[in-house]
Structure 1
Amino acid sequence: MRLSPLPADQWDDAVNAALAGMLPRQRRNPQGAGNALATMVRNPELTRTFLPFNAHLLFGSTLPARLRELAVLRVAALCKCPYEVEHHTGMGLAAGLTLEEIADAQEGVAHDDLDRLVLAAATELDRESTLSDSTWSALAEHLDERQLIDLVFTVGTYATLAMAFNTFGIEPDRELQPEYER
């Protein structure tokens, strides 16, 4: 671990303010925030600015939660990010994915046309930093303009988070995840 979570004795008003938009007061501590947020608050200004954007992608996006989680799981696998794989396995289950669908998504495999397109888009964005005209057109048959924008920003943001989490050495928060067969 290159950066550890900020120790509890260093949590101050700036850290509390950085997390206020994402976490209830009782979770604004190193254990309740989890490894990722407790590490990110080492830079409270960045965290305070970033979290509302990330909250939009998680809770305000026009992209259905199931599709969002497929995209994030594919990015997590492509970026080899154990934290994101673990965290979004739990979120994928909550969004209605099965463990088989979650494992398949990480490999880029889907059994439905739209799911396959979303996984292909995540892969293409990872490899090319753009979508081909054919992928964009195929997605546009299923998703509206806002959903397409949310998809691109979701993939890009979770690639950035994976890069940061891998670099910092952030470990999964198994105790904060719902129980499932690991």
Structure 2
Amino acid sequence: MHLSSPRIAPLADSDMSPEQQAAVEPLRQGPVGLLNIFRTLAHAPEALKAFLGWGNYILSKRNALAPREREIVILRTGYLCRSGYEWTQHVGIGKRVGLSDEEIARIKSGEGFGAADAALIRACDDLHARQFVSDATWAALKAHFSDKQCMDVVFTAGQYTQVSMMLNTFGVQLDAGQTLDPDLKG
């Protein structure tokens, strides 16, 4: 993680305005609850609402990537962005959708994957380095994925690059009970 303390502190319930309370209310009912990311983004309730709309697409069945493939993209992007918070949140999600501990560890190096998963990793690497998927990587993606799935790779990597930028810059700290991966310290 880039920062050991928040630049923008997550809001306690008692510190939220009615508009902020309204923005986070749907999250209270959701499966993950009111995490530090949402308590931090509640400082800008209109932005939080817009952010949730796009994020809900990325994490829904409307995204044509299978959940396992989506999590490979999210984890690789989070790791490349050095986002300890994002990595920590999505390791658990990745395991729930079928990634093994060994696969999750290999996402860091990007090595040791079959052709389809390797194409996802290379796409993330291209997007991170150049904000563009090379022709060779695009061809590798197209060998395994539809046009819509390839678009969703870019959408997902873009969304989680943005999320990582916010988390890193605002100094969002891990939620209670979480442990930072040692590879993402400092």
| TM-score calculated relative to the size of structure 2 | 0.86
Q: Which amino acid aligns with 2:10?
A: P
Picking from 125, 128, 133, the partner of 2:127 is: 125
Larger helix share, 1 or 2: 1
Q: How many pairs does the alignment contain?
A: 173
| Other-structure match for 1:44 | 45
Tell me if structure 1 keeps the 8 A contact 2:71–2:90: yes
Shift of 1:22: 4.6
In 2, the alpha carbon distance for the partners of 1:138 and 1:175 equals 39
Shift of 1:17: 3.1
Tell me if structure 2 keeps the 8 A contact 1:6–1:38: yes
Q: In the TM superposition, what whole-angstrom CA distance separates every residue of 1:6-42 from its partner, at most 9, and x where no partner exists?
A: 1211224322332355551797xxxx41111110111
Shift of 1:52: 1.2
In 2, the alpha carbon distance for the partners of 1:173 and 1:94 equals 19
| Other-structure match for 2:102 | 100
| Other-structure match for 1:180 | none
Q: In the TM superposition, what whole-angstrom CA distance separates every residue of 1:109-131 from its partner, at most 9, and x where no partner exists?
A: 23211011100110110001001
In 2, the alpha carbon distance for the partners of 1:8 and 1:23 equals 11
Q: Which amino acid aligns with 1:44?
A: P
| Other-structure match for 2:182 | none
Picking from 9, 15, 20, the partner of 1:10 is: 15
Q: Which amino acid aligns with 2:19?
A: A
In 2, the alpha carbon distance for the partners of 1:25 and 1:161 equals 19
Shift of 1:4: 1.0
| TM-score calculated relative to the size of structure 1 | 0.87
Q: Which amino acid aligns with 2:21?
A: N
Gaps (5+ residues) in structure 1?
178-182
1:146/1:22 CA distance change after superposition, 3 Å: farther
1:173 match: secondary structure: coil
Q: Which amino acid aligns with 1:15?
A: Q
1:33 match: secondary structure: coil
